[in-house]
Amino acid sequence: MNKQKFEYFLNAIHYGFWLKERTFNKGVRKIVDILFYPIPKLLLTKNMKKRYYENTEKSQPQINDFFYNKKKGLCIRLAHHNFGAFYSIYTCILPFVLEALYIKFNGEINSFVILIIFAIPAGICYIPAYKAVFSNDKYLQYFKQFEKEDEHWHKKWKRITTAFILGAIASIIFGVYLCFTILDVKVQFPWM
């Protein structure tokens, strides 16, 4: 995979995370609005209600900026975090194997060594993603491009983003399985 395709792929995944965050946030805001709708209607006088609704309308642009600003809004910050977390999870297979080997041969668990075993591969593997998505806010250029795409493209990349998330979850489960296999630990689940 060449650098340009890798960059496109990661930015499209990041865009998918951002869309998921926006959708989730809008849903939560609708629920909160429904729950709080009766309060001003029942508790405020007519004059206070008028001022309340006027102030709510005036503050709406600032609220939207707080949540949906593509550079510093809450949704993009959560998308940055979730993208980084799920991307980093893919690196967990190697640390789980190294951790199991360390424990098997040393017979002890050293928290500092285990932290280093997880941090170094995650840090090293995160560098290309950081350069492809976050350096010089590259994602903003890609977002402009992705917003122009048709509905078919958006559906495709929503599915790919979901597959990316499920793949990360599967990789951590596989890493734990490998760790237990190397340590020769039998895990008995209650449903088995």
Segment 2-11, tens digit of pLDDT: 889 999 999 9
Tell me, yes or no, whether 119 lies in a domain.
yes
Tell me, yes or no, whether 189 lies in a domain.
no
Residue span of the structural domain in which 157 resides: 3-183
Q: Give the C-alpha separation, 64 to 121, whole Å.
A: 38
Domain count, the chain: 1
Q: Render pLDDT for 43-57 as a digit per residue (tens, 0 to 9).
A: 888 898 888 889 989
Tokens of 124: 């090293």
Can you give the pTM of this predicted structure?
0.85
Q: Give the C-alpha separation, 93 to 168, whole Å.
A: 10
Q: Give the C-alpha separation, 96 to 81, whole Å.
A: 22
Tell me, yes or no, whether 192 lies in a domain.
no
Tell me, yes or no, whether 191 lies in a domain.
no
User: For the chain, where are the E strands, in sequence order?
Assistant: none
Q: Give the C-alpha separation, 4 to 9, whole Å.
A: 9
Tell me, yes or no, whether 91 lies in a domain.
yes
